Amino acid sequence: MSDSLVAAANRARGCAGFLPVEAVMALADDGVLVLDPFSTLVSPGVTLAAGVTLWPGTIIQATGGGEVTVGSGTRLFPGTRIVAAGARVTIGADTEIGEEGGFTIKADHPDGLIEIGSRVRLLGAGSLALDNHIGDGAQILGAIRMQNCRLQAGGSHRDPDPDRRGGVLKGSGVARDLTVPTGMVIQAFGLFNEAPLRPQSFFHPKQRT
């Protein structure tokens, strides 16, 4: 890519509040793996730990004094967009966000907070808005619009006992003001508030010993 094209791209990035291409490339000096710095957008106010992987087409934006922090080993897949507009988004370690269609995380009201723990999976083109707490090991699987919800912490999806894993939402639709306890899951295709809460072993029977 010629210097003039890079300069033009950097001007556009600057107007939108994002770092220049060279600064995104320089994240490698801090141990961040950026697979395509030309399609990856990162703004000031973003803190990425060593070991984070940014796949092409990821966007991490902090505006109006907002903050985004991402823990070590977390992978942001193509189509992931994280926005903190005068609010905070915190993401723990070894978390997977955006595989199977991307994911949107948007904290955009004053003093807003979206907390995402470690070993979490957010897959399948879903979204988080308003305030949410996604505990360690919890999962959102599918195109689910989640607002003001809490998934309680537990083991990851690799824990051999499904009823000890973090809370799970799976399917598609809208989830508002819900709490999913450790080891439980709600599956719905529409309004999650109308769907039953089940133990995860309902979908993943425990192995007999």
Listing DSSP states for 89-100 in one string gives EEE-SS-EESTT
Task: Kindly state whether residue 15 falls inside one of the protein's structural domains.
Answer: no
Task: Kindly state whether residue 112 falls inside one of the protein's structural domains.
Answer: yes
pLDDT of residue 94: 98
Task: Kindly state whether residue 41 falls inside one of the protein's structural domains.
Answer: no
Task: Kindly state whether residue 34 falls inside one of the protein's structural domains.
Answer: no
Average pLDDT per run of 10 along the chain, which is 209 residues long?
83 95 96 97 96 98 96 98 97 97 95 96 97 98 97 96 96 98 97 96 78
CATH number at residue 179: 2.160.10.10
pLDDT of residue 4: 86
pLDDT of residue 3: 78
pLDDT of residue 45: 84
Task: Kindly state whether residue 79 falls inside one of the protein's structural domains.
Answer: yes
Give, in order, the Cα–Cα distances in Å from 126 to each of 85, 112, 171, 179.
19, 19, 10, 17
Query: For residue 7, what is the enclosing H or E element?
Result: helix 3-16
The tally of domains found in the chain comes to: 1
Closest among 119, 145, 114, 116 to 131, alpha carbons compared: 114
Q: Provide the whole-model pTM.
A: 0.94
Residues 6+ away with beta carbon under 8 Å from 5: none
| Domain span at 180 | 75-202
> Residue 39 corresponds to which tokens in the numbers above?
């399609």
pLDDT of residue 208: 64
Task: Kindly state whether residue 108 falls inside one of the protein's structural domains.
Answer: yes
> Residue 115 corresponds to which tokens in the numbers above?
């907390």
Task: Kindly state whether residue 155 falls inside one of the protein's structural domains.
Answer: yes
Task: Kindly state whether residue 102 falls inside one of the protein's structural domains.
Answer: yes
pLDDT of residue 87: 96
